[in-house]
């Protein structure tokens, strides 16, 4: 009990006179804040990108592509294939009509507003079932395109990010002029980075005949994925891969988000090591400034343990302040920050918002605490071992 | 220079503090080296681009193929010295994660177009004459010449529906420009053209060399005008502009790197500046003694400033050295994942400028304080 009282007393004393040593302490705080800021900012790119990609995918929608195709862009299916998929078991039917959308996915160059340079923007030809195979897609401005006409509806994110996509405007790709007639929202998912038109119009423009690249299928239930997959695998007329849409988008997101993590975590570890050096420096300075105070306490009968604990508490507290400041700064500066990047997996632009998630912030704070503990431990040992007589003589 | 000994001894006055400061500086410059090398990779080879080479792609997008018939028409355009083509194969070796670039090309013409690529003439000939022959950059999956290599294309099935294409390794090429990537495979366009199920008669893009004396901008315009209002309009740009347009699509990687490094170096300045001001504060009596025995104000300023630069230079050079080693290691072990990772000369020069600048910034205020010390006051405090 006595030891606990002592610890409390020395720690309180130490914390209360912290402001007197603010100069040196500030260095430790800023160091830790920089680590957490950079960590949260870099990893929020991966988190935001994943959120955009994964929220597009649903468990009860399947995507059918040519066997071996890793992305829609690489796939190709003929009209016969589409008919087989339409009539396959497991496909949800609205009356007699299967809920499917055969889709063609191409890339067009449009100027990115932020850079003024061309970017690969996905242009998707969709079937009449496009809004039924996806949940949460709705027209938020203008109207739906009319079938058979050169009309586009554009994703909300695409409209903000790329030039010349205002409703009522015209945009030219190659020799074809398109009218932008509407804007659609899709819960902030990757679909909002796309432009949509009637698949038949796009087939004609691109001289693709009747071929498409994927068929999206609304399943009777998430469990029907297996029914559909088995039926198509056993059908000798067709060679396709069937995956849930969620699974497909997760695999599309993986290379980029993994890359950010592969860079981001070691970056954080390195910066944290740098911050530990900074914290050690500040804490050694703090211990040497408090030398006389510590020696006096020891002479009065306080044990080494309270001195040790109070020093560790001081450094942890500083690190925590730094961590909170860094995390708050990251949140204010980067959360919701909208960018678009080239997703190598689909060779087209994905518009997404940085997401400084609670998970990232708590990971950042844990890193800050570790820096504080490590940075305080060795100086604390020195403080506890301070030779009392010698330190007092220096008075 | 004559005070180097003094500066050195001063710097190590408190070994722990100086070592810790140096180590944080080292970490900062290690990060500088690594991030710059990664940012360099994202520049997609803009730095190795040849100003005399132009790239012709489909105006709608790079993914739209161009007819092979364009080759002769481009070659006939005034100002064009030579032209060749390449296409995107989109394959992987054994597993999807072993994705790397493969291009079907015209063997001899391609190597003429890229003189910076080195290959033994014998290997080039045996490749060109072998229908299923292929050449790769060094250290690709440890293949050796004569190996049969199955590559699965995610785009191109063969006429019989088979998606795995078999190649025979006929040679290994390297690049004389250390900054360039060689993490790709080249194989014969004839094999590709005969065997693919669709898309026959097309290529992905053309590469051409401008004749000496011709204006690349005018040549590019002449080519694009030639195909204007056809179903396959073209967009011709210099290799550098083409690479840059690609790099820009990823977003502003350079800006992200600069922001991170800004945070790192700001912290670094605080750490080093704090060390120097602590060090000067402790040494006030000593500095006063120096002045008493006849050191000028300027010398005292110089001594303190040199100490600051010395600490940052030692840490900085150590960090750069470590970074260089790490980049060399990464380039050979992760070359396939991130081709073109490279620590460039300008980046190293920038680092050295930052070392000097940060050394001066961290040391200048303590140094001025030391210079302005009044001997009487300072000795009295001692």
Mean pLDDT over residues B202-217, rounded?
Answer: 93
Amino acid A392: pLDDT? 81
> In A, which residues are within 8 Å of B251 by CB distance?
339-342
Spatial distance between the Cα atoms of A356 and B216, rounded to a whole number of angstroms: 46
B263 contact A CB<8A? yes
A41 contacts in B (CB within 8 Å)? 259-260
CB contact under 8 A, B267 and A31: yes
In this predicted structure, what is the pLDDT of residue A74? Answer: 84
> For all residues of chain B together, what is the average pLDDT?
89
For chain A, give percent helix, strand, coil, nearest 5.
Answer: 55, 20, 25
pLDDT computed for residue B337 by the predictor: 61
CA distance A113 to A115: 6
Select from A109, A207, A275 the Cβ nearest to the Cβ of B60: A109
Mean pLDDT for the stretch of residues B307-327: 94
Q: Which residues of B139-157 are buried (b: 16+ CB within 10 A; e: fewer)?
A: ebeebeeeeebebbbbbbb
Residues 6+ apart with CB under 8 A from B265: B28, B354, B358
The closest CB to that of B264, out of A117, A263, A271, belongs to A271
Kindly report the nearest CA distance between residue B302 and chain A, in angstroms.
25
Q: Which helix (H) or strand (E) holds A338?
A: strand A338-343
Neighbours of A344 (CB within 10 A): 14
Least confident stretch, A378-392, B37-51, B76-90: B37-51
What average pLDDT does range A223-234 have in this prediction? 94
For the segment A311-329, the average pLDDT, to the nearest whole number, is 95
Q: Find the mean pLDDT for residues B151-169.
A: 91
Q: What does the mean pLDDT of chain A come to?
A: 91
C-alpha–C-alpha distance, residues A69 and B204, integer Å: 19
Q: Which of A331-335, B128-132, B155-159, B375-379 has the lowest mean pLDDT?
A: B375-379
Q: Is the pLDDT of residue B334 over 80?
A: no
Distance of CA A133 to the CA centre of its chain: 25
pLDDT reading at A32 higher than 90: yes
Contact B21 A273 (CB under 8 A): no
Residue among B266, B278, B258, B257 at smallest CA distance from B20: B278
> Domain extents for chain B?
4-44+251-381, 49-249
Instruction: Report the chain B residue with the minimal C-alpha distance to residue A283.
Output: B17
User: What integer pLDDT is reported at residue A207 of this predicted model?
Assistant: 80
8 A C-beta contact, residue A243 and residue A104: no
| Nearest beta carbon to residue A339 from set B17, B28, B251 | B251
d(CA B250, CA A344): 9
pLDDT, tens digit (0-9, with 9 covering 90-100), for A198-219: 999 999 888 888 899 999 999 9
* CB contact A71 to B (< 8 Å): yes
Of B172 and B48, the structure prediction assigns the larger pLDDT to: B172
Binned at pLDDT 50, 70 and 90, residue A386 comes out as: confident
DSSP string, A88-140: STTB-EETTEE-EEEEEEEEEEEEBTTTSSEEEEEEEEE-TTHHHHSSS-EEE
Is the separation of the CB atoms in A192 and A185 below 8 Å? Answer: yes
B326 interfaces chain A, CB cutoff of 8 Å: no
Task: State how far residue B125 is from chain A, nearest Cα, in angstroms.
Answer: 32
Give pLDDT, residue A13: 87
Picking from A154, A184, A186, A157, the residue whose alpha carbon sits closest to that of residue A170 is: A154
pLDDT for the residue B267: 86
Count other C-beta atoms under 10 Å from residue B168's C-beta: 17
Answer yes or no: do A273 and B59 touch at CB < 8 A. no
CA distance, residue A30 to nearest chain B CA (Å): 6
The answer to whether the CB atoms of B270 and A107 lie below 8 A apart is: no
pLDDT per position as a tens digit, B227-264: 988 889 999 999 888 888 878 888 777 788 888 899 88
Residue B17 in this model has a pLDDT that exceeds 90? no
Average pLDDT of B52-59? 92
The DSSP letter of residue B77 is: S
Check residue B381 and give its pLDDT.
66
Query: What pLDDT is recorded for position B336?
Result: 57
Nearest chain A Cα distance for residue B19, angstroms:
9
Q: How many helices (H) and strands (E) does chain B have?
A: 13, 14
Please report the pLDDT score of residue A220 as a whole number: 93
**Percent of chain B that is helix, strand, coil (3-state, to 5):** 55, 15, 30
Rg, chain A, Cα only: 30
What does the DSSP 8-state code read for residue B367?
A: H
What confidence score (pLDDT) does residue B14 get?
86
pLDDT tens readout for residues A41-94: 999 999 999 999 988 888 899 999 998 888 898 888 999 999 999 999 999 999
Looking at the predicted structure, is the pLDDT value of residue A272 above 60?
yes
Judge: A278–B271 Cβ closer than 8 Å, yes or no. Answer: yes
Residue B1 has pLDDT above 70, yes or no: no
Is pLDDT above 90 for B105? yes
> Reduced to 3 states, what is the DSSP secondary structure of residue B125?
helix
- pLDDT for A184-200, tens place per residue? 999 999 999 999 999 99
Q: Which of A226-235, B89-98, B269-278 has the highest mean pLDDT?
A: A226-235
List pLDDT tens digits, range A138-163.
999 999 999 999 999 999 999 999 99
- Torsions phi, psi of B3, nearest 5? -95, 10
Report pTM: 0.88
Q: Is B104 helix (H, G, I), strand (E, B) or coil?
A: strand
Q: How far is the C-alpha of B300 from the C-alpha of B317, rounded, in Å? A: 25
Record: contact A341-B21, CB cut-off 8 A = no
CB A349 within 8 A of CB A251: no
Q: Report the pLDDT value the prediction gives residue A316, as an integer from 0 to 100.
A: 94
Interface of A with B in 191-230 (CB under 8 A): 206-207
Asked if residue A32 lies in contact with residue A275, where contact means CB atoms within 8 angstroms, the answer is yes
Q: Is B24 on the interface with A (CB under 8 A)?
A: yes
Whether A67 has its CB under 8 Å from any CB of chain B: the answer is yes
Burial of B9 (0-12, 13-18, 19+ CB in 10 A): exposed
* Arithmetic mean of pLDDT, A256-279: 90
Residues 6+ positions from B118 with CB-CB distance below 8 Å: B173, B174, B175, B176
Percent of chain A at pLDDT above 90? 65
Confidence at B102, pLDDT banded by 50, 70, 90: very high
Q: Pick the residue with more confidence: B145 or A288?
A: B145
- CA–CA dist A286, A314 (Å, integer): 10
Contact A360, A39 (CB under 8 A): yes
Size of interface A-B (CB pairs under 8 A): 139
Top residue of B43, B62, B249 to mutate, by most chain A CBs within 10 Å, is: B249
The C-alpha torsion from A379 through A383 and A385 to A387, rounded to 10°, is: 130
What residues of chain A, 272 to 291, have a C-beta less than 8 Å from chain B? 273-275, 277-278, 280-282, 284-285
**Contact (Cβ atoms closer than 8 angstroms) between residue B284 and residue B378:** yes
Which of B251, B316, B330 best tests the A interface by mutation, with the highest count of A CBs <10 A? B251
Q: What is the CA radius of gyration of chain B?
A: 29
Residues paired with residue A123 on neighbouring β-strands, in sequence order: A106, A195
Mean pLDDT of A282-310: 89
Task: State the burial class of residue B120 (Cβ atoms within 10 Å of its Cβ: 0-12, 13-18, 19+).
Answer: exposed
Residue B164, phi then psi, degrees to nearest 5: -95, 125
Q: How far apart are CA B345 and CA A40, in angstroms?
A: 31
CA dist A58 → A62, A100, A217 (Å): 8, 14, 11
Give the gap in angstroms from C-alpha A274 to the nearest C-alpha of chain B.
Answer: 4
Crossing angle for the helix pair A245-289 and A304-334, nearest 10 degrees? 140
Q: CB–CB of B263 and A37 under 8 A?
A: yes
d(CA B221, CA B51): 16
Is the separation of the CB atoms in A88 and A232 below 8 Å? yes
Tell me how far apart the alpha carbons of residues A366 and A269 are, in angstroms, rounded to a whole number.
12
Cβ–Cβ contact B61 with A under 8 A: yes
Q: Answer whether residue A395 shows pLDDT above 60.
A: no
Residues of A in contact with B229 (CB under 8 A): 175
Asked if A347 has any chain B CB less than 8 Å from its own CB, the reply is: yes
What mean pLDDT comes out for the span A332-345? 90
Distance from CA of A231 to the nearest CA of B (A): 20
The domain spans of chain A are: 2-54+252-393, 68-238
More confident residue, A10 or B318: B318
Tell me the per-residue pLDDT of B252-298, one tens digit each, with 9 for 90 and over: 777 888 888 998 888 888 888 888 888 888 888 888 899 999 899 99
> What span, in angstroms and rounded, lies between the C-alpha atoms of A10 and A33?
27
């Amino acid at each position: 009990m006595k030891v606990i009282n002592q610890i409390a007393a020395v720690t309180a004393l130490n914390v209360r006179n912290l402001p007197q040593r603010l100069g040196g302490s500030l260095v430790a705080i800023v160091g830790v804040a920089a680590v957490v800021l950079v960590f949260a900012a870099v990893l929020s790119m991966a988190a935001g990108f994943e959120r955009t990609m994964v929220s597009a995918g649903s468990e009860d929608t399947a995507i059918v592509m040519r066997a071996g195709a890793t992305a829609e862009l690489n796939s190709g299916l003929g009209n016969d294939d589409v008919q087989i998929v339409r009539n396959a078991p497991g496909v949800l039917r609205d009356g007699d009509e299967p809920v499917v959308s055969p889709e063609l996915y191409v890339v067009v160059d449009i100027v990115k507003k932020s850079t003024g340079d061309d970017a690969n923007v996905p242009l998707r030809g969709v079937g009449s079932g496009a809004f039924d195979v996806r949940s949460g897609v709705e027209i938020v401005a203008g109207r739906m395109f009319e079938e058979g006409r050169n009309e586009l509806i554009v994703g909300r994110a695409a409209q903000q990010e790329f030039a010349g996509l205002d409703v009522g405007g015209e945009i030219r790709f190659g020799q074809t002029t398109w009218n932008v007639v509407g804007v659609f929202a899709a819960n902030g998912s990757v679909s909002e980075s796309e432009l949509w038109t009637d698949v038949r119009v796009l087939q004609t423009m691109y001289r693709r005949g009747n071929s498409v690249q994927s068929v999206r299928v609304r399943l009777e239930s998430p469990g029907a994925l297996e029914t559909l997959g088995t039926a198509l695998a056993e059908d000798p007329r067709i060679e396709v891969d069937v995956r849930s849409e969620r699974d497909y988008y997760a695999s599309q997101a993986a290379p980029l988000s993994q890359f950010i993590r592969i860079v981001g975590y070691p970056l954080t570890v390195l910066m944290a090591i740098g911050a530990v050096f900074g914290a050690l420096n500040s804490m050694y300075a703090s211990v040497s400034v408090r030398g006389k105070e510590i020696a006096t306490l020891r002479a009065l009968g306080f044990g080494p343990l309270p001195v040790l604990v109070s020093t560790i508490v001081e450094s942890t507290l500083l690190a925590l302040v730094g961590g909170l400041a860094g995390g708050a700064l990251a949140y204010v500066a980067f959360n919701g920050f909208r960018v678009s990047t080239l997703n190598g997996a689909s060779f087209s632009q994905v518009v997404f918002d940085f997401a400084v998630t609670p998970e990232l912030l708590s990971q950042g704070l844990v890193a800050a605490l570790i820096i504080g503990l490590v940075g305080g431990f060795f100086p604390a040992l020195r403080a506890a071992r301070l030779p009392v007589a010698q330190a007092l003589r220096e008075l | 220079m004559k005070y180097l000994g003094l500066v050195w001894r001063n710097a190590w006055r408190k070994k722990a503090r100086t070592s810790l400061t140096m180590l944080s500086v080292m970490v900062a410059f290690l990060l500088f080296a690594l991030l710059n090398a990664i940012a360099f990779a994202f520049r997609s080879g803009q730095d190795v681009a040849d100003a005399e080479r132009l790239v012709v792609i489909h105006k709608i997008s790079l993914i739209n193929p161009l007819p092979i018939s364009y080759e002769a028409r481009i070659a006939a355009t005034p100002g064009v010295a030579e032209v060749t083509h390449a296409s995107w194969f989109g394959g992987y070796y054994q597993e999807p994660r072993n994705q790397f670039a493969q291009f079907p090309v015209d063997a001899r013409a391609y190597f003429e177009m890229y003189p910076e690529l080195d290959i033994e003439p014998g290997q080039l000939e045996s490749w060109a004459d072998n229908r299923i022959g292929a050449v790769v950059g060094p250290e690709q999956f440890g293949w050796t010449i004569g190996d049969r290599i199955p590559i699965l294309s995610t785009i191109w099935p063969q006429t019989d529906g088979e998606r795995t294409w078999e190649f025979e390794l006929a040679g290994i090429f390297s690049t004389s420009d250390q900054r360039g990537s060689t993490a790709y495979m080249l194989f014969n366009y004839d094999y590709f053209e005969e065997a693919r199920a669709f898309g026959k008669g097309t290529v992905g893009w053309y590469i051409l060399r401008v004749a000496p004396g011709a204006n690349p901008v005018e040549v590019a315009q002449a080519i694009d005008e030639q195909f204007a209002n056809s179903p396959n309009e073209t967009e011709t740009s210099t290799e550098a502009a083409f690479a840059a347009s690609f790099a820009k699509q990823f977003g502003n990687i350079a800006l992200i790197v600069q922001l991170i490094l800004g945070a790192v170096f700001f912290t670094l300045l605080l750490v080093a500046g704090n060390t120097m001001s602590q060090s000067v504060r402790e040494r006030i009596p000593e500095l006063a003694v120096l002045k008493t025995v006849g050191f000028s104000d300027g010398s005292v300023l110089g001594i303190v400033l040199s100490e600051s630069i010395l600490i940052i230079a030692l840490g900085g050079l150590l960090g750069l050295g470590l970074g260089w080693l790490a980049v060399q290691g990464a380039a050979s072990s992760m070359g396939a994942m991130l081709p073109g990772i490279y620590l460039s000369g300008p980046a190293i020069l920038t680092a050295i400028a930052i070392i000097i600048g940060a050394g001066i910034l961290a040391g200048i205020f303590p140094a001025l304080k030391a210079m302005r010390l009044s001997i009487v006051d300072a000795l009295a405090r001692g």
